[in-house]
Amino acid sequence: MTPEPGSPPPVAETRRRFLTKTAVAAALLAGARGPLSAAESTAAADGPWFRRVRRWGQTNITEADPPRYDLAWWREHWKRTQVQGVIINAGGIVAYYPSAIPLHHRAQFLGDRDLFGDLCRAAHDDGLAVFARMDSNSAHEDFFQAHPGWFARDASGRPYRNRDLYVTCVNSAYYDEHLPAVLREIATRYRPEGFTDNSWSGLGRGSICHCDNCQKKFRAAAGRELPRGRDWNDAAYRAWIEWSYARRLEIWDTNNRITRAAGGPHCLWVGMNGGSVSGQAAQFRDCKEIFARAEILMLDDQRRQNESGFQRNGEVGKLVHGVLGWDKIAPESMALYQTTSPTYRLSAKPAPEARLWMLAGFAGGIAPWWHHVGAWQEDRRQFATAEPVMRWHAANEQYLFNRTPVATVGLVWSQRNTDFFGRDDADLLVDSPARGWTNALVRARIPYLSVHIDHVARDAAQFRVLILPNLAAMTEAQAASLRRFVENGGALIATGQSSLCDQWGDARTDFALADLFGAHLPDKHGWRDESVRRRWASESAHSYLRLTPSLAAHNAGPRAPAEKPATGARHEVLRGFDETDILGFGSTLEPLRLDTTAQVIATFVPSFPAFPPETSWMRTPLTDIPALALNEKPGAGRVAFLPADLDRRYARENLPDHGDLLANLVRWAARDEIPLRIEGPGFIDCHLYRQPGRVILHLVNLTSAGTWRAPVDELIPVGPLQVRVELPADVRGRTLQLRVSGANAPLVADGGWHRFTIPSVLDHELAVIE
């Protein structure tokens, strides 16, 4: 069939152009660094699109955009920013094409235009992959009136609302019939490479749907009625949590079957996911199961938070790839509009803020995806930010993908711990301790990786140390895998109530890992009470830790005689604290029963008044309540148990003493087997990788006046940095490239290590040794 003059080319033709051009584009982009290797040429020509498309762009279309969308301008912007794929609004709440499906609401100003079709054809003509973007958990009034049984309802039967929209139920025909029809229509008519869906998982954990569909299906699955409200100790509520997770996985699998059947075997449905485990938990998105299923993982994680900093984006990359695999691509939506609170969708984010978030993601294995809201902008500054970063990424992508991280320290996580131990206080009980460790490791320039607790046995060989940041809820099998890790020589650091609870978050009579800790709960201990555990985690007290042995006299009271200084050297974990016998703590502790093998090197000093200053003296300067105990047994790895929650305290208060002590624990536990050492000024996030015959070090300079308060509006260079790195046997260390500054730096062999100096780092530096 011959198209009419001036009509768009057939969809199949534009998609063929895409498939041809992406292979060619891969070769062209590599031109700056020389010819492709045989392996790279094969991957470029034959690999599926989701293994090749590494840079993305998105203009999140508003309903006002169809008449004013300047397609020619945006096509030039795609070229300037060297994107290989675009995310284009298609359907769901709003359709940007002439849908034939009843009640599929067309954009207010769409008129007769097929905006999605125009953009999809243009992208394919330009050799770009296309994700059709859906946003499908809500619908308009007319849809609700036509199908009232397809919508979520509270216990009183009232529909849940999303502003002017009605929230759909994931267990209704909306998900089983209407959305599949939309997916088939778009896949067959336009042939996009895949689909994203911004709100695919429906109603979150904070609300229970009591519609007829949910009542019937839950009763059939669980043999009981839906819970009336939140009660983590109620068997029905626990069953509802697990049932809700299972339904989201069913949606994931079903939608992928639909899109592949309609659009071809590589037409993927990838939903949308976040980088926060607690955020995923709140939406019933199982990170471990979803990440393992995904061929490409699209992340809606657009900005940094003050409390977690830019380093969180590197952490997200490590957590995601730890399950997804390092051979797969994980693009992340990187907002170029102002994302402070409140958000300003149409104002440009300061370029240094946006740039650092992007670069921190690159260092952790995240792929770039610029994001604007609206196709027409009055604040045009936002268009200048992405181009230089995306061009650098294109020129250096051979060093940013298909690489293996190098780290001997693993930070263990579990979404079940977030759900059933964290419950309604996950940030306090789970996220804050993990964030404290992340910040301490970054500050100490110790490379680390995130490890799911179910992957401990699988990944054990690469780690010298595993860290449990208040990881309380675990099964007996998970505890056994940690025990085997220590028995085989691995070291373990555990904080707070780690291993205290079973898989439901219910307290055991003792720690599951008590034999490793050398510490046990006595018969009466407050931590067995859930309310006490939460109060303990949230409190702030004027309390201290006493380092043992004390190296100077202290007063036991206003008139008590001074105690004689203790003799003997302190443990190496306390290195750097020679001029103090105490550290600020801020919480409370209760006694524990210790094994004879446990060595206590810090004890608890109870709270006393801070104000007025005349009353600020220790009422009980000495106790035998352990705050930090070390346990070493012949033939096994070192174990450190820190009942004092210094990880959470460090996340909250940012006291250098807490960060230093946490870093000391890691170095001791690892027996200093850490493959990287960097000396010099600044707050630097360090990521170490290897490729065959090559070691890659990516440094991100997080030093700025806005490090802990967004946005950053000025980059502050640091340096020089003295780097020492341990090279694997297949890397001889003959050449060094600094891929950002281009500076010359001699590489000097030093035993089994190599050392070099980086003169200065403005925002990041990529050092390649080969």
Determine whether 734 is exposed, middle or buried from the number of CB atoms within 10 Å of its CB (0-12, 13-18, 19+): exposed
pTM score, two decimals? 0.93
Which pLDDT value is given to residue 680?
Answer: 98
Q: Look at 495-499, 597-601, 710-714 and tell me which has the smallest mean pLDDT.
A: 710-714
Position 521 scores a pLDDT of: 96
Please give the average per-residue pLDDT across 109-113, as a whole number: 96
- Which pLDDT tens digit goes with each residue over 272-295? 999 999 999 999 999 999 999 999
Mean pLDDT of the chain: 92
- In this predicted structure, the answer to whether residue 27 has a pLDDT above a threshold of 90 is no
Of residues 564 and 548, more confidently modeled: 548
Residue-wise pLDDT tens digits, 202-241: 999 999 999 999 999 999 999 999 999 999 999 999 999 9
Average pLDDT score over residue span 259-281 = 97
- pLDDT at 12 exceeding the cut of 80: no
Coil vs helix vs strand at 339: coil
Average pLDDT over residues 330-356: 93
**18 pLDDT tier (thresholds 50, 70, 90):** low
606 pLDDT more than 70 = yes
- pLDDT grade, residue 13 (50/70/90)? low
**The two structure tokens encoding residue 754:** 């190599």
Has residue 532 got a pLDDT over 80? yes
The pLDDT of residue 736: 96
Per-residue pLDDT for 614 more than 80?
yes
Confidence label for 19 from pLDDT (cuts 50, 70 and 90): low
- What is the reported pLDDT for 29? 36
Average pLDDT over residues 135-163: 96
pLDDT at 77 over 80: yes
pLDDT tens digits, 401-414? 999 999 999 999 99
Radius of gyration of the chain (CA): 28
**Alpha-carbon distance 606 to 95, whole Å?**
62
pLDDT in tens, 739-759: 999 988 899 998 889 999 999
Which residues have a Cβ under 8 Å from the Cβ of 339 and sit 6 or more positions away? 302, 303, 349, 710
Which residues, at least 6 apart from 725, have a Cβ–Cβ distance to it below 8 Å?
675, 676, 677, 688, 695, 697, 753, 754, 755, 769
pLDDT band for position 10 (50/70/90)? Answer: low
| Among 689, 701, 647, residue whose Cα is nearest residue 321 | 689
Res. 365 pLDDT band, cuts 50 70 90: very high
* More confident site: 50 or 338: 50
* pLDDT in the model for residue 36: 37
Which among 296, 213, 280 is positioned nearest to 248, based on CA atoms? 280
Return the pLDDT at 706.
83
User: Looking at the predicted structure, is the pLDDT value of residue 681 above 90?
Assistant: yes
Rounded average pLDDT over 526-542: 92
Mean pLDDT in residue range 21-32: 42
- Reported as a single tens digit per residue, the pLDDT across 366-397 is 999 999 999 999 999 999 999 999 999 999 99
pLDDT of residue 729: 87
Residue 576: its pLDDT value, please? 96
In order, the DSSP letters of 36-63 are: PPHHHHHHHHHS-HHHH---EEEEE--T
Q: Which stretches within 57-154 are classed as H helix?
A: 71-80, 115-125, 141-146
State the pLDDT at residue 552: 54
What pLDDT is stored for residue 21 in this prediction?
52
> Is it the case that residue 2 has pLDDT exceeding 80?
no
Q: At what angle do helices 311-324 and 351-363 cross, to 10 degrees?
A: 30
How far apart (Å, rounded) are the C-alpha atoms in residues 141 and 161?
A: 10
Worst-scoring range by mean pLDDT, 131-145, 247-261, 510-524, 528-542? 528-542
Mean pLDDT of 517-532: 94
Residue 550's pLDDT is what? 74
Look at phi and psi of residue 636 and say left if phi exceeds 0, alpha if psi is from -120 to 50, else beta. beta
Considering the chain, what percentage of its residues have pLDDT values greater than 90? 86
